């Protein structure tokens, strides 16, 4: 694997393997990081991590969610003590989670607004271009702050 892709995949896996759980301030009940992942999966929700390298490239799973197709990156194996992290990663890579959101937004926009721009000018003519510009600006601001 390309070094950048490997590092992004490791970062993605790290997001699923949270270090901290949480404590409910009202009840004092504490859950482990893996229990937290299990609770999210059991509630039929998915975590889509965003990992960005120092040059602004983001991870494959986040890219699939925004502009990708059915193909998902491979799900790595997890330690037995992180069974719910594995379940969450499998869910995030499944077709039960939307993918290609910006492509769908473009198709919908162009169907009903074929003669107008999405943004303030031709530089952001459609939702996908506008969103990618906003994400790029946000990442650039974060990296240079």
For residues 90-113, average pLDDT: 93
Nearest of 68, 74, 67, 71 to residue 8 by alpha carbon: 74
pLDDT tens profile 117-143? 887 777 788 999 999 999 989 888 888
The model's confidence at residue 1, banded by pLDDT at 50, 70 and 90, is: low
The model's confidence at residue 113, banded by pLDDT at 50, 70 and 90, is: confident
Q: What pLDDT does 98 receive?
A: 93
pLDDT tens profile 31-53? 999 999 999 999 999 999 999 88
DSSP string, 66-109: HH--S--PPPPP--GGGHHHHHHHHHHTSTTS---HHHHHHHHH
**In the chain, what percentage of residues exceed pLDDT 70?**
99
Highest mean pLDDT among 10-24, 74-88, 114-128: 74-88
Q: What is the pTM of this model?
A: 0.83
**In the chain, what percentage of residues exceed pLDDT 90?**
63
For residues 80-91, average pLDDT: 96
């Amino acid at each position: 694997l390309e070094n950048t892709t490997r590092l992004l995949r490791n970062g993605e896996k790290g997001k699923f393997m949270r270090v901290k759980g949480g404590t409910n301030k009202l009840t004092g009940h504490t859950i482990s990081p893996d229990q937290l992942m299990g609770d999210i999966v059991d509630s039929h929700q998915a975590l889509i991590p965003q990992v960005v390298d120092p040059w602004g490239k983001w991870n494959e799973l986040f890219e699939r969610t925004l502009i990708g197709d059915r193909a998902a990156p491979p799900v790595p194996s997890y330690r037995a003590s992180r069974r719910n992290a594995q379940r969450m990663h499998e869910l995030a890579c499944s077709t039960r989670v939307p993918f290609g959101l910006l492509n769908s937004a473009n198709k919908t926009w162009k169907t009903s607004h074929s003669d107008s721009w999405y943004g303030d000018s031709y530089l952001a003519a459609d939702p996908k271009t506008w969103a990618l510009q906003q994400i790029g600006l946000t990442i650039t601001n974060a990296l240079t702050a």
